[in-house]
Amino acid sequence: GENVEQHPSTLSVQEGDSAVIKCTYSDSASNYFPWYKQELGKRPQLIIDIRSNVGEKKDQRIAVTLNKTAKHFSLHITETQPEDSAVYFCAASNAGGTSYGKLTFGQGTILTVHP
């Protein structure tokens, strides 16, 4: 089955700095890579996702890059703000057509943005 490794487990930055979280996956059939933000006791919230036919995607301060050859993808947050502090999870699945792929999650990164 799929295995997703996520690093670092904790990340501390100053407000305004950039934050980068990296994930690797093992199953070359995976084609969908979402990133979630989870606050304590709440549901995961999708912040950005990328499909395997795209190498990069950006949404305001958030961007994701995908390297299919190396089987890794990264989350980039620029101009971090204290409200970005949360746990971030990467995930991977093999989805498409009528196949509803199950998500395999990384271990999570606790991001702390200091004012």
Note the residues at the interface with other proteins (CB under 8 A): 32, 34, 41-46, 49, 51, 89, 95-108
* Contacts for 83 with CB less than 8 Å, ≥ 6 apart: 113
Q: Is the dihedral of CA 101, 102, 108, 113 positive or negative?
A: positive
Which lies closer to other proteins via its Cβ, residue 8 or residue 16?
Answer: 8
**In the block, residue with structure tokens 């390297």:** 67
Q: What is the DSSP letter of 84?
A: G
Does residue 112 contact residue 11 with C-beta atoms inside 8 Å?
yes
Question: Measured from the CB of residue 66, what is the shortest distance to other proteins in angstroms?
Answer: 14
Question: Measured from the CB of residue 108, what is the shortest distance to other proteins in angstroms?
Answer: 5
* Contacts for 63 with CB less than 8 Å, ≥ 6 apart: 48, 56, 57, 75, 76, 78
Which lies closer to other proteins via its Cβ, residue 15 or residue 42?
Answer: 42
Question: Measured from the CB of residue 79, what is the shortest distance to other proteins in angstroms?
Answer: 26
Which lies closer to other proteins via its Cβ, residue 16 or residue 96?
Answer: 96
Question: Measured from the CB of residue 16, what is the shortest distance to other proteins in angstroms?
Answer: 27
Which lies closer to other proteins via its Cβ, residue 14 or residue 98?
Answer: 98
